[in-house]
Amino acid sequence: MNKKKFPLLLLGISLFVVMGVSSFAQALELGVRGYYWFPAFSANQRVDTASMTGTEFDLKSALGVGNQAFWSGEVYGGIGKHHMSAMYTPIKISADTTLTAPINFGGTNFTANTAVNYNLDFYMMDVKYLYDVINMENILAGFSVGPMVQVKYVSGSAEMKSPAIPGQDVKQSFSAPIPMVGIGAHIGLIANILEARAQVTGMGYSSSYVIEAMADISVTPFPFVDIHGGYKYIGLKMDRSDYYMDATFSGPFVALTVGF
């Protein structure tokens, strides 16, 4: 090979590699996101046995449960049109009260005027995949939209006990993987500074269902950090042979993202 041409060839290869790495870096996204959610909460619940149907009761009116805030943690990644994330949300709801009406909870009768401790302790694990059917991120401020597949795994327990009465302590565990489908969209209002997201997923099966929707606006005050404000709704109904819960969570959230 002509020695004069070798430096030019090496320069060409170097430029090609740099351009390829730069293009890949622009298409790659990785990061972590933390949420703090302030939902209004409502739920009806019932715990049955094989031979007895329990009492369906409203957690707020029967137990005096109030609204509570919850945190979530999320990791996400993507290349080009493909985006994946995994989110963990622990939820713990408790109440110490005196019943004004009797409740049969898992075959145990808790009579009126009985002091009880109640705990609903569960978590939601969500894995999502979004594919951009339309991707105009490089045009003007940017826009993308596409179908989403989500699996929500719910697992936990509900417990009611009377500290003053030995043996009156019932705890019912539950778990269910719930596949969901939906759509997600992203809009760059001001490129790399102000952005908006919206996602809706859901699935109904047998006499159970789950619906989840969220929307937020984020601002990037400096590189690699986004600050979010938004609204999220979850409607969850689980109807099994031994456990029933029909709950809704809806309210604003704030979030912080660190990623690139």
Chain segment 19-53, per-residue pLDDT in tens? 343 444 446 899 999 999 999 999 999 999 988 99
Judge whether 189 and 141 are in contact, CB under 8 Å: yes
Mean pLDDT, range 157-183, rounded to an integer? 93
Q: What is the pLDDT of residue 207?
A: 81
End-to-end CA distance of the chain: 42
Position 253 scores a pLDDT of 98
Which of helix, strand or coil describes residue 260?
Answer: coil
Average pLDDT over residues 99-126: 95
Mean pLDDT value across the chain: 88
User: What is the structure's pLDDT at 1?
Assistant: 53
Give the Cα-Cα-Cα angle 184, 188, 193 (nearest 5 degrees): 130
Rounded-to-integer distance, Cα 122 and Cα 113, Å:
28
Where do the domains of the chain lie?
31-259
Residue of higher predicted confidence among 102 and 1? 102
CA atoms within 13 A on the CB side of 166: 0
Q: Please report the pLDDT score of residue 166 as a whole number.
A: 87
> 31-259: which CATH architecture?
Beta Barrel (2.40)
**Average pLDDT value for residue range 167-195:** 90
Query: pLDDT: is 192 or 115 the higher one?
Result: 115
**Residues 231-252: what's their mean pLDDT?**
95
**Dist CA 175 CA 124 (whole Å):** 10
- The more confidently predicted of residues 189 and 97 is 97
Closest CA to 70 of 95, 37, 23, 118: 37
The pLDDT of residue 11 is above 90? no
- Report residue 140's pLDDT band, with 50, 70 and 90 as the boundaries: low
pTM score, whole prediction: 0.85
- Res 188: pLDDT: 84
Predicted confidence band at 136 (pLDDT cuts at 50, 70, 90)?
A: confident
The reported pLDDT for the residue numbered 9 is 45
- On the question of pLDDT at 4 being above 90, the answer is no
3: pLDDT confidence band, cut at 50, 70 and 90? low
